Amino acid sequence: MKIQRLLGPAAMALAFACAGLKETRPTALRELPQPDVARCYQAASGVGNPNLQGNFEVDQYVDDKGDVPAAWIHHDVGVKGGTFFQCLLGMAVASKYPSQNVDYVVPSTVTCVGVGVSEGKERTSGCTKAAGTGEKQVPQDQKLARDTLRFADWAGPTDRGWGYYYVGDYPQAIAQFETATKGNPKDERALRGLAQALADSNGDSNRAKELAKKAIELKPESEATHEAMIHACLAAKDDKCAFDEFDLAKAKPDLDPRRRELASIQDQVKEAAERLQSGAQQQEEKQKSAQEAAAGKSDPTGCRKLEDNSDAQLLCLIKRCFEQGAREYDDRAGLFDGRMEGRLALGLARRGDGAHPGRRGGGEARAVQEGSIGGSRGRGTAAARCDLEGHGRREHRHAADQHRRREHREDPRFVQEVK
């Protein structure tokens, strides 16, 4: 008992860990407070780790009840505090946070200052803890994380699976999650953990999507289940699925404690969105090309490419609309001689002057002299009459009928026919 009073709680945790004493699941809130860090520093200094300097990050995996089944050192810059790390990780898995109804990772940055002189004053050594990852997030040291990974004695297969997953040991994570899902096929944490471990280790992406789907069915309003599906979709190279699930994940009520996890895959989802956009642009270009090809077939003469409302475009449209009718007229009356433009110009000029089709007028003379269709009045009338090809055919049939009337005016049979 005397030794316990001298060492304090942190040193006792270190001693218990070394002695292999069993820990129990915590019942009271204890969010790895600063006194725990100070006591671990004192304990480490007392057993041969004095004057620690540098900084490191300790990560705690918090389950949906707020307990901490796993903890590890994310990275270390200069501290190299083996004994200190061991003590602090023992305190980390003995912590308890308020339940968020979802599991997540809590990062803490610990900075240690050794004995020395600063600004003319003697500096006291010690380590202080701050929540979060600091101003600049440092990539995880995978080897250090695996070497320092610590589990609470009460941690089950699902807890251990997530611990191994977060330090990048996917084979161990998959093995633990498989055990957990066999024991409880409706363990949502284990289902999505297995989905993510398979996806991130280039495993069976189809199975990963099925597992993530089951997790979503069990807990549809959780960011975590949709995040698992994002991992599976990225592994399956299903960009639309990844993008859609990312949007869903951002809208879930438990997003806040899991922002770090979602942010870790944000760049991959952004790349997926860029590929989607690029594919959509290519599809639009294909559709545009197809539309242009279809337009070319429907406008083989290229009238639409000519200047709008110009005489050239109007002549082109009239020729296209009336050409078939003119050929029918030629078959019936023998009047088609290939000089379509001149005849159309004469006809339009007559209409422009309001002249009767059977009489020559000033409009006709002007059209012949100028070699054009006529004024804006003639263009408007012709454009209106060239709307539909069928209407053009009717116009030519009417002209043919008038011609026959003139040539066969005395023929009683013809008169009877048109009546």
The residue-averaged pLDDT of 52-68 equals 95
Q: What percent of the chain lies above the pLDDT cut of 90?
A: 51
pLDDT band (50, 70, 90) for residue 379: very low
The residue-averaged pLDDT of 292-318 equals 74
Res 263 pLDDT > 90:
yes
Cα 180 to chain centroid distance, Å, stands at 32
114 within 8 A of 38, measured Cβ to Cβ? no
Alpha helix ranges (H) inside 32-96: 34-46, 82-92
Residues with Cβ within 8 Å of 35's Cβ and at least 6 positions away in sequence, in order, are: none
β-strands 126-131, 121-123 pairing: unpaired
pLDDT band (50, 70, 90) for residue 308: confident
Residue 284, pLDDT score: 67
| 210 vs 318, residue with greater confidence | 210
The residue-averaged pLDDT of 135-139 equals 83
Q: How far apart are alpha carbons 239 and 229 in whole angstroms?
A: 12
| Closest of 151, 163, 152 to residue 25, by C-alpha | 152
Q: How far apart are alpha carbons 419 and 417 in whole angstroms?
A: 5
Residue 364, pLDDT score: 42
The residue-averaged pLDDT of 299-320 equals 76
Res 381 pLDDT > 50:
no
Which domains are seen in the chain, by residue range? 1-154 (no CATH), 156-281 (1.25.40.10), 303-418 (no CATH)
Q: How far apart are alpha carbons 205 and 194 in whole angstroms?
A: 11
The residue-averaged pLDDT of 365-382 equals 42
Res 157 pLDDT > 60:
yes
Res 295 pLDDT > 90:
no
pLDDT tens per residue, range 219-238: 999 999 999 999 999 999 99
The residue-averaged pLDDT of 120-128 equals 69
105 within 8 A of 166, measured Cβ to Cβ? yes
Q: How far apart are alpha carbons 280 and 268 in whole angstroms?
A: 18
| Closest of 150, 143, 132 to residue 89, by C-alpha | 150
pLDDT band (50, 70, 90) for residue 187: very high
Alpha-carbon radius of gyration of the chain? 43
Q: For residue 313, what are the CA distances in angstroms to 11, 304, 306?
A: 95, 7, 5
Mean pLDDT of the residues in the chain: 78
349 within 8 A of 290, measured Cβ to Cβ? no
Residue 378, pLDDT score: 45
Q: What does the DSSP 8-state code read for residue 71?
A: E
Residue 28, pLDDT score: 94
Residue 313, pLDDT score: 75
The pair of structure tokens assigned to 166 is 């977060």
| 278 vs 211, residue with greater confidence | 211
Residues with Cβ within 8 Å of 89's Cβ and at least 6 positions away in sequence, in order, are: 58, 71, 72, 73, 148, 150
Q: Which of 38-52, 79-93, 390-404 is most confident?
A: 79-93
